[in-house]
Amino acid sequence: MVFSSIFFIFYFLPVFMLLYYLVPGRVKDIVLVLGSMVFYAWGEPVYLVLMLFSAVFNYYMGLELDRIEDPSPRKRNLVFTIVINLLILGFFKYYGFLLDSAGSLFGISIPHPELALPIGISFYTFKNLSYIFDIYKGKIAAQRNLLTFGVYSTMFPHMAAGPIVRYADIEEQLRSRTVNLSKMGIGVEIFIKGLAKKVILADNLALIYNQILATDGRISVLTAWLGIFAYTMQIYFDFSGYSDMAIGLGKMLGFDFQKNFDYPYTSGSVSEFWRRWHISLGSWFRDYVYIPLGGNRAGTARHIRNILIVWALTGLWHGASWNFVLWGVYYGLLLLLEKYVLSRFLGAAPALVQRLYTFLLVMIGWVFFSIPSFGSIAHYLGSMFGVSASGFLDRSFLYYLRSGIILFIISILACQPNLQIRFRRLMRTRPWAAILIDILLFVIAVAYLVSSSYHSFLYQQF
Catalytic residue selected from 158, 278, 303, 318:
318
Q: In the annotation, is 455 catalytic?
A: no
Give Cα 258 distance to the centre of its chain: 13
Q: How far is CA 141 from CA 83, 135, 195, 196, in A?
A: 21, 6, 36, 39
At a CB cut-off of 8 Å and minimum separation 6, what does 94 contact?
316, 320
Task: Name residue 223's amino acid.
Answer: T
What's 259's DSSP letter? P
Task: Name residue 272's amino acid.
Answer: E
What's the half-sphere exposure (Cβ side, CA atoms, 13 Å) at 248? 20
Q: How far apart are CA 358 and CA 365, in angstroms?
A: 11
Give Cα 49 distance to the centre of its chain: 23
At a CB cut-off of 8 Å and minimum separation 6, what does 291 contact?
none
At a CB cut-off of 8 Å and minimum separation 6, what does 99 contact?
110, 112
What's 202's DSSP letter? I
Task: With both helix axes pointing from N to C terminus, report the angle between 181-196 and 221-253 in degrees, rounded to the nearest 10.
Answer: 170
What's the half-sphere exposure (Cβ side, CA atoms, 13 Å) at 156? 25
Q: How far apart are CA 131 and CA 135, in angstroms?
A: 6
Catalytic residue numbers?
A: 318
